[in-house]
Chain A
Amino acid sequence: MKPAPFDYDDPRSVDEAIGLLARYGDECKVLAGGQSLVPLMNFRLARPGRLVDINGIESLGQVKVENGRLLLGAMVRHAQVERSNDIAARWPLLHDAIVWVGHSQIRNRGTVGGSVAHADPAAELPCALAALDAKFHVLSRRGPRVLRWDQIFVSEFTTSLAPDELLTAIEVPPQDPSTGVAFVEFARRHGDFALGGAAVSITLARNGTCSDVAVALLSAGPRPVRAEEAERRLKGGQVDEAAIKQASAAAVQGLHPTSDLHGSREYRVKLLQVMTERALTKAVHLATRRAA
């Protein structure tokens, strides 16, 4: 047996789950899809004394649309998002991002809530959710909280969730149907964690100028990065090749991705610039077609 011994609870309701978290706090960990937590336990890098398995809580596995907003329960599996035609049509950036997550076997178990709570800077979903200005619903015995992406993601593998808090749902605002989106990344093999990537969502006005844009970068720092300077430069102007080149150069100004054996800092910065350029080009192409 690989993991160290632990006590195990499988509550059937959110109320029961937050009760257990309030009682055991630091001692315990939430078990969602297990695709990040169980590898750590098998290596004994994580040795939680107790697991609160939330797989049996049906309400957390639901996909809902309320007032045009998408509500993804924390236990919605990556594969559920991937297969949803409604999400592909109305929130295409989510669909485009999720197909990059690991392999089919991983996406069959992995959950959207787990991807957020794990907060890997190379994870596609947090990056896409940053571009989409998603909100995160959190609950504990102390009450509910609703967090923005820049409030929940703190640093590498670190969120602002307290040990007694459960992430219950992710809320994504409605997308303008004329918005063009693109998610691009580079990894040595599909399914590996990306060395760099970019998520873009852009809306063009009738006259072709940019009325709204979001650019988020993957593996660019300790948490998802919004390229605010690039967004500022694009807003209100014509988005031609030169503007895309300028914005992509601005997007990587001041970035400090960590050097490691997979790529130096210089290489990663250059890669992020190229990824931004490609994502912008693709998204603008789609937005132009939709606006026409």
Chain B
Amino acid sequence: MRKIAVQINGRVVEGEVEPRLLLGDFIRDNAGLTGTHFGCEHGVCGACTVQLDGEPVRSCLMFAVQAHGRRIATVEGMAPSATELHPLQQAFHESHALQCGFCTPGILMTMEAFLRAEPDPSPERIRAALAGNLCRCTGYQNIVTGVRLAADRMK
């Protein structure tokens, strides 16, 4: 067992964990943040994507011990207040960019970082950036629309 302290959405979460505990399980079980979803648990679906020091990574392919002393962002940290959504979340809501919502947290974590790097992306660039996230409901069309709408508003 190892003692770790991970900063998640600005809050330090401590725990004593086995080395084999996946980061995603630490986020869900120890930090109680269940917005991060596990789909495939081998890196393919993207549902578990969180940000490690600002960069999107798979939380099913990292051990919690590896996040000791690092900064993690999850979907729960996006909205500025309890009554207000992040512009990306708001645009997804308005564009019908989610149905069941299982894939959405991973997509938001990926797209937030993508828009920071490319604030004015073409639909083709948005599609390419979405390649690492699977969605079984929407057919992606409205996700692309939602990301573009958010980009317009965040300018």
Give me the interface of A with B, judged by CB distance under 8 Å: 1-8, 10, 34-35, 38-39, 41-43, 51, 53, 55, 79, 102-106, 108-109, 189-191
Contacting B131 at CB < 8 Å: which of A3, A39, A55, A103?
Answer: A103
Task: Check A109 against B62 for contact (C-beta < 8 Å).
Answer: yes
A196 vs B2: C-alpha distance when bound (angstroms):
44
A1 touches B55 (CB 8 A): no
- B20 interface residue, CB < 8 Å from A? yes
How far apart sit A154 and B43, CA to CA, in the bound complex (Å)?
26
Q: List 12 A-B contacts (CB under 8 A).
A: A1-B22, A1-B25, A8-B65, A39-B42, A42-B41, A103-B132, A104-B110, A105-B46, A106-B132, A108-B57, A109-B57, A191-B131
B66, A3: Cβ atoms closer than 8 Å:
no
Pair A6/B132 contact, Cβ less than 8 Å? no
Known: A39-B61, A191-B132. 4 other contacts (CB 8 A): A2-B20, A35-B43, A38-B60, A106-B43
Choose one: B2, B42, B49, B110; the contact of A42 (CB below 8 Å): B42
B58 at the interface (CB under 8 A from A): yes
Q: Are A108 and B20 in contact (CB under 8 A)?
A: no
Q: Mark B1-21, 1 if CB is under 8 A from A, else 0.
A: 010000000000000001111
List 10 A-B pairs, minimum CB-CB distance, nearest first.
A103-B132, A8-B19, A39-B42, A38-B61, A3-B20, A108-B55, A105-B56, A191-B131, A42-B41, A34-B61
Chain A residue at minimal CB-CB distance from B109: A105
**What is the distance, in angstroms, from B116's C-beta to the closest C-beta of chain A?**
12
B129 interface hit (Cβ, 8 Å): yes
Evaluate contact between A105 and B19: CB separation under 8 angstroms.
no
A218 vs B132: C-alpha distance when bound (angstroms): 22
Q: A-B pairs with CB below 8 Å: how many?
A: 81
Q: Could you tell me the distance between the alpha carbons of A102 and B57 in the complex, rounded to whole angstroms? A: 12
Query: Which residues of chain A are near B82, meaning CB under 8 Å?
Result: none
Q: Which of B19, B46, B65, B66 contacts A103 (CB 8 A)?
A: B46
> Is there contact, CB below 8 Å, between A5 and B132?
no
Contact B57 A5 (CB under 8 A): no
Chain B contact residues, majority secondary structure: mixed
Interface centre among B55, B56, B61, B62 (most CB of A within 10 A): B61
| Distance, CA A6 to CA B128, complexed state (A) | 37
- Complex Cα spacing A41 to B41, Å: 10
Whole-angstrom distance between the Cβ of A280 and the nearest chain B Cβ: 26
> Contacts of B128 on A, CB cut-off 8 Å?
190
| Closest B residue, CB atoms, query A53 | B66
Give chain B nearest CB distance to A251 CB in angstroms.
29
- CA of A55 to CA of B52, assembled, Å: 14
Q: Which residues of B contact A55 (CB under 8 A)?
A: 66
Closest chain A residue to B106 by CB distance? A105
CA distance A267 to B114 in the complex (A): 36
Residue of B nearest to A8 (CB): B19
Closest to A190 in B: B131
Q: Return the contact of B19 from the options A7, A43, A106, A108 (Cβ within 8 A).
A: A7
Question: In the complex, what residues of A have CB within 8 A of residue B131's CB?
Answer: 103, 189-191
**B132 touching A105, Cβ below 8 Å:** yes
Task: Return chain B residues, CB-CB under 8 Å to A190.
Answer: 128, 131
Q: A39-B42, A108-B55 are in contact. Are A4 and B61 (CB under 8 A)?
A: no
Contact residues of B between 36 and 89, Cβ < 8 Å to A: 41-43, 46, 49, 52, 55-58, 60-63, 65-66
Select one of B21, B56, B110 contacting A1, CB under 8 A.
B21
Min CB distance, B69 to chain A, in Å?
10
Nearest A residue (CB) for B54: A108
CB-CB under 8 A from B62, the residues of chain A are 34, 38, 109
Residues of A within 8 A of B2 (CB): 8
